[in-house]
Chains A and B, each alone.
Chain A
């Protein structure tokens, strides 16, 4: 403590001591409360030690006041600065972030998606791409010749009937399958041909749970010298394993005007795994696609030498596969474009 009538030397020594203690106290303060206690002790408005030091100035001889005043100012500056710096540090360390309830939901942007049928088509195309296939397209409005005649349909074939095919005029119709793309491609490109033709086909079927008047189809065609039924069977079996995972497949004799021999491929029923259930009528199998070797008449119709070249083709319905994949009870879900459905099955 300073005496009531200190000498200059005493005053200067005390000021230095006060400054050192205050600075140490401020620096040692761990949080705002400790710093505030120290501030009141040293810089307090009523009884702070610095205030006492200032008051003590008046008790000094007049000739000492100049030097003492300077010492006081130094002490004040030093303590205030130290305090303020410490205050910033302590406040930053102890300040909490504004209250956030982190259980609240995230913010999103709208997510869009391709149609489930497109997803299936893309996946099929992707598998065949690995085997050298490219994509070919054709018109949905077709001539009777491309749709039937070139594909070896006899003129009185039931498919030509007005009950089954949607006609647009004399000799013009909405294609009933994607197979006309076979003929167009064979006319346009020389063999070897390895194409897939995804697209929409049409039948005069009213909408019901399993039929649509317009539906997706995907066609495959491979034509070259030496293409055989073994190529067909091996390639389609490979496809089935890649698409459905490990599954048994079987080929059954079938009939299409534009293939000979013709075969349909089944995979094990997706529902019962081959044990037999009501969906597969107890057979354990589900039909996936129709296929066959391209009928020589089709090659000839497209100007391709059927003695030199052979080929195979297949066709399947991605909508039916989408129904299996997404467990859809009704094919109309695929055509209604209900936002709730499209969001639900978005991949």
Chain B
């Protein structure tokens, strides 16, 4: 909503500057996003006095003058205006000024006389068509004063963010009402010179009525809850007066002609859209005895040429104004070219309607056209406004374009609905806002915005009937909002009051995610937050209305989007990628809602360590790093029974992460669209848990249980630290093909018994000296007895037992040296 400060002041003369109005409205009503200074192009113009004036020696119409622009030095200025006179004040454009008409003022010689600037006419300043001479200023200011400060043309525009609950603010009347309520200054309708024009009272009908040469017919009250019309005959269409042109310019609208401008003025003044038709172009070949105008749904395939010059084909979603033949306007959106008011128009039919909000929205969408009128109808126009707006627009047209009303206006309207008062408990107001406010104060605040408010005898409740323009006020909470904002949010105390702790503990998934983030950040990885959209295929959850086909599905795994992010990095020549994410993935579900899971995933590629002069070519991330990171993940998650099962499938899958017997994740190679210099990429993905998107309880019900606190984490318990020395020895073993390290370790553990404290493979060798098809793997064993030092014989015994078990069970022998 664009509001002119000068227009608002015509409603309510609160004596506030534009910035003060901005702050008041923002604090109490709606946010003023910006204050726009209008005619900023006139900022360089100053008021100057002509001190001396003489005829130009070489010209019969030019004058040479000495001009005081407040700088303390007199300027030589040549002026061609006949009315220039010494002692008078004029607008003056110093050298360097760019005038609104695009001319830049430079110092120059005019027939041999130097001119330092220009004394300006109204037309040169874009202030009208007056060009008989320069603009004589009847103001009492010192030379050098900025022209905009001296002359009341420097209007300012407030750009107000009107939210959908407050359509009443979409007019100067609506904003002025708020200014009046906030400042306590009385509100009056601006004087536009129509006070002595009498518009006859409208006659009310339910569905049809004759407005004097035209029969109005409202086919369905669901299309419009009110439809008024008046015929004005004998108008002369012409340009609007300057004050009206200025008003419209201040809010960014262009003047067209007096009839159209009157309609537009009333729209912005009162918030009621109106539309004037050229009566003689409506129903030129009536089927009925008289011209007819019908408010109805369009028939599929009907078309209309609208005022913007576009021919639009209509559907039954569209409400139209039609004559007995075809549509002549799209209801609440735009009129038709065929019945447009033009210079030749003499008789007009003026429509003042209240079109249904959701029906207008459908109409607007169907024709793909949004206008000032449709914007207001969609949000809801005050139902009681139509008669006032009709009187106002008719009077303004009569005053600007002449003509007469020969027949009373018609008002197709079922009548006001009975209002029921909202009972507002004073105690409830205090409880919700947090400070006590007396009943009388509540009533006064609500009356200031147009409510009827009566405090009951005991002072315990206020009975409130909201005004017709505040249909958003339905329940006590709505009224409390207005009380709070009018009282002032900033006037409420900033005091934190005692509170009780909540009944819910941290979501376990949140705690888990935090642990994972800590662990993976500590492991040198960066957290990514990619969006979950992928090109995908039928195995993915489809987005019905995606922004682009390349984002038409939701990811099934986090690695899908991490891979894309890795490719993004590669495309920016970043060969070292270490990313992780804790996020949601989606799989098609049993119904429209997908199966959602929370997961953690990571991707690594490139240098395992930062390059250093001691390590110029760091080794690259490989399978073993990925396996280690998978173990970091599983440990951070804190599951008890888990294992990494090697994949027998081959391909990119390396290990499956098995928790309590079920596959919960995997470690894999990640295929990327990568340049040749890129290192291989490895990924880990792990499902944390399913996220329920089903109903907690049916609508309107709850499922409150006794809160169950999450089980405490079971910490690792202390075991006494060893006091006896350990014995270490190595076994270099020859593993035939098909024997895995895990099998060897199982046999060693069995044979070594409880004395084995630690078992670690530390070397692998294949090649010269090792039989083909065999691997040599070396393990280091650490044996320890908790109470005493092991004897050499005991160790030898274990060693022999292990080797014999390996030979008999796995055909694994010691490698001869």
Interface residues of chain A, those whose CB is within 8 Å of chain B, are 104-105, 107-115, 117-118, 122, 131-143, 145-146, 149-150, 156-158, 162, 166-172, 174, 183-195, 198, 200, 204-206, 212-214, 216, 222, 224, 226, 228-231, 233-235, 237-238, 250-255, 260-264, 281-283, 293, 295-296, 300-304, 310, 334-340, 342-343, 346
Q: List 23 A-B contacts (CB under 8 A).
A: A112-B523, A113-B521, A118-B527, A135-B507, A140-B691, A149-B699, A169-B544, A169-B593, A174-B543, A188-B696, A226-B431, A231-B499, A234-B497, A253-B489, A255-B164, A261-B477, A282-B35, A293-B477, A300-B700, A310-B431, A337-B568, A339-B526, A340-B574
Minimum C-beta distance from B321 to chain A (A):
23
Q: Which A residues are in CB contact (< 8 Å) with B22?
A: 283
Please judge, given known A-B contacts A230-B433, A303-B697, whether A166 and B546 are in contact too, CB under 8 Å: yes
Flag if A141 contacts B596 (CB, 8 Å): yes
Q: Which of A107, A283, A346 has the most CB of B within 10 A?
A: A283
A134 (CB) vs chain B CBs: closest residue: B506
Flag if A115 contacts B501 (CB, 8 Å): no
B572 within 8 A of A: yes
Q: Which of chain B's residues 366-421 have a Cβ closer than 8 Å to chain A?
A: none
Kindly list the 5 A-B residue pairs having the minimum CB-CB distance in the complex, ordered from nearest. Answer: A230-B434, A169-B592, A228-B434, A110-B524, A303-B702
Q: Which of chain B's residues 566-583 have a Cβ closer than 8 Å to chain A?
A: 568-569, 572, 574, 576-580, 583
Flag if B163 contacts A214 (CB, 8 Å): no
Q: Which A residues are in CB contact (< 8 Å) with B31?
A: 252, 254, 264
Q: Which A residues are in CB contact (< 8 Å) with B469?
A: none
Q: Which A residues are in CB contact (< 8 Å) with B579?
A: 337, 339
Flag if B702 contacts A135 (CB, 8 Å): no
Q: Which A residues are in CB contact (< 8 Å) with B358?
A: 156
Over the window 498-523 of chain B, the binary record of Cβ atoms lying under 8 Å from chain A Cβ atoms (1 yes, 0 no) is 01111111110110001001001111
Flag if A293 contacts B432 (CB, 8 Å): yes
Flag if A192 contacts B431 (CB, 8 Å): no
Flag if A162 contacts B610 (CB, 8 Å): no
Flag if A188 contacts B504 (CB, 8 Å): yes
Q: Which of chain B's residues 475-500 have a Cβ closer than 8 Å to chain A?
A: 475, 477-478, 480-481, 484-485, 489-490, 492-497, 499-500
Flag if B541 contacts A168 (CB, 8 Å): yes
Flag if B502 contacts A132 (CB, 8 Å): yes
B310 within 8 A of A: no
What is the CA–CA distance of A237 and B609 in the complex, to the nearest angstrom? Answer: 45
Flag if A233 contacts B494 (CB, 8 Å): yes
Please judge, given known A-B contacts A105-B612, A228-B431, A234-B493, whether A136 and B700 are in contact too, CB under 8 Å: no
Over the window 549-577 of chain B, the binary record of Cβ atoms lying under 8 Å from chain A Cβ atoms (1 yes, 0 no) is 00100100000000001001100101011
B695 within 8 A of A: yes
Q: Which of B31, B576, B596 has the most CB of A within 10 A?
A: B31
Minimum C-beta distance from B496 to chain A (A):
5
Q: Which A residues are in CB contact (< 8 Å) with B26?
A: 252, 283
B604 (CB) vs chain A CBs: closest residue: A110
Minimum C-beta distance from B502 to chain A (A):
4
Flag if B578 contacts A137 (CB, 8 Å): no
B31 (CB) vs chain A CBs: closest residue: A252
B576 (CB) vs chain A CBs: closest residue: A339
Q: Which B residues are in CB contact (< 8 Å) with A293?
A: 432, 477
Q: Which A residues are in CB contact (< 8 Å) with B361?
A: 156
Q: Which B residues are in CB contact (< 8 Å) with A343?
A: 526
Over the window 292-326 of chain B, the binary record of Cβ atoms lying under 8 Å from chain A Cβ atoms (1 yes, 0 no) is 00000000000000000000000000000000000
Q: Which A residues are in CB contact (< 8 Å) with B591?
A: 169, 172
Q: Which of A107, A168, A200 has the most CB of B within 10 A?
A: A168
What is the CA–CA distance of A263 and B506 in the complex, to the nearest angstrom? Answer: 27
Q: Which A residues are in CB contact (< 8 Å) with B554?
A: 141, 168, 174
What is the CA–CA distance of A221 and B378 in the complex, to the nearest angstrom? Answer: 32
B613 within 8 A of A: yes
Please judge, given known A-B contacts A224-B500, A230-B492, A300-B700, whether A115 and B529 are in contact too, CB under 8 Å: yes
B161 (CB) vs chain A CBs: closest residue: A254
What is the CA–CA distance of A205 and B481 in the complex, to the nearest angstrom? Answer: 31
Q: Which A residues are in CB contact (< 8 Å) with B609?
A: 109-110
| A-B Cβ contacts below 8 A, count | 311
Residue of A137, A260, A281 touching B507 (CB-CB under 8 A): A137
Please judge, given known A-B contacts A250-B27, A301-B700, whether A339 and B569 are in contact too, CB under 8 Å: yes
Minimum C-beta distance from B345 to chain A (A):
37
Flag if B502 contacts A193 (CB, 8 Å): yes
B717 within 8 A of A: no
Given A168-B542, A192-B499, list of 12 further CB < 8 A pairs? A105-B613, A110-B610, A117-B529, A188-B702, A190-B704, A231-B499, A260-B481, A262-B481, A282-B34, A283-B34, A334-B529, A343-B526
Residue of A133, A166, A188 touching B545 (CB-CB under 8 A): A166
What is the CA–CA distance of A136 and B600 in the complex, to the nearest angstrom? Answer: 19
B815 within 8 A of A: no
B20 within 8 A of A: no
Residue of A110, A143, A336 touching B593 (CB-CB under 8 A): A143
Flag if A229 contacts B547 (CB, 8 Å): no
Over the window 607-631 of chain B, the binary record of Cβ atoms lying under 8 Å from chain A Cβ atoms (1 yes, 0 no) is 0011011110000000000000000
What is the CA–CA distance of A42 and B520 in the complex, to the nearest angstrom? Answer: 69
B199 within 8 A of A: no
Flag if A231 contacts B434 (CB, 8 Å): yes
What is the CA–CA distance of A104 and B612 in the complex, to the nearest angstrom? Answer: 10
B525 within 8 A of A: yes
Minimum C-beta distance from B499 to chain A (A):
6
Minimum C-beta distance from B339 to chain A (A):
31
B74 within 8 A of A: no
B582 (CB) vs chain A CBs: closest residue: A118
Flag if A336 contacts B592 (CB, 8 Å): no
Flag if B492 contacts A253 (CB, 8 Å): no
What is the CA–CA distance of A281 and B32 in the complex, to the nearest angstrom? Answer: 10
Q: Which B residues are in CB contact (< 8 Å) with A337?
A: 526, 528-530, 565, 568-569, 579
What is the CA–CA distance of A246 and B4 in the complex, to the nearest angstrom? Answer: 36
Over the window 576-608 of chain B, the binary record of Cβ atoms lying under 8 Å from chain A Cβ atoms (1 yes, 0 no) is 111110011010000111101000000000000
Minimum C-beta distance from A160 to chain B (A):
12
B707 within 8 A of A: yes
A172 (CB) vs chain B CBs: closest residue: B592
Flag if B503 contacts A192 (CB, 8 Å): yes
Minimum C-beta distance from B196 to chain A (A):
40
Please judge, given known A-B contacts A107-B614, A212-B531, A303-B700, whether A338 and B541 are in contact too, CB under 8 Å: no
Q: Which A residues are in CB contact (< 8 Å) with B641?
A: none
Please judge, given known A-B contacts A137-B509, A194-B502, whether A295 and B477 are in contact too, CB under 8 Å: yes
Flag if A195 contacts B502 (CB, 8 Å): yes
What is the CA–CA distance of A227 and B532 in the complex, to the nearest angstrom? Answer: 37
Flag if A261 contacts B569 (CB, 8 Å): no
A231 (CB) vs chain B CBs: closest residue: B497
What is the CA–CA distance of A183 and B531 in the complex, to the nearest angstrom? Answer: 25
What is the CA–CA distance of A263 and B609 in the complex, to the nearest angstrom? Answer: 51
Flag if B702 contacts A192 (CB, 8 Å): no
Over the window 239-266 of chain B, the binary record of Cβ atoms lying under 8 Å from chain A Cβ atoms (1 yes, 0 no) is 0000000000000000000000000000
Q: Which B residues are in CB contact (< 8 Å) with A189?
A: 502-504, 704, 707
Q: Which B residues are in CB contact (< 8 Å) with A295?
A: 477
Flag if B496 contacts A235 (CB, 8 Å): yes
Over the window 31-43 of chain B, the binary record of Cβ atoms lying under 8 Å from chain A Cβ atoms (1 yes, 0 no) is 1011100000000
What is the CA–CA distance of A169 and B568 in the complex, to the nearest angstrom? Answer: 31
Q: Which B residues are in CB contact (< 8 Å) with A205?
A: 547
Please judge, given known A-B contacts A115-B527, A190-B704, A200-B584, whether A134 and B432 are in contact too, CB under 8 Å: no
Q: Which B residues are in CB contact (< 8 Å) with A264?
A: 31
Minimum C-beta distance from A204 to chain B (A):
6
Residue of A112, A150, A251 touching B490 (CB-CB under 8 A): A251
Q: Which of B484, B485, B517, B523 has the most CB of A within 10 A?
A: B484
B28 within 8 A of A: yes
What is the CA–CA distance of A260 and B433 in the complex, to the nearest angstrom? Answer: 11
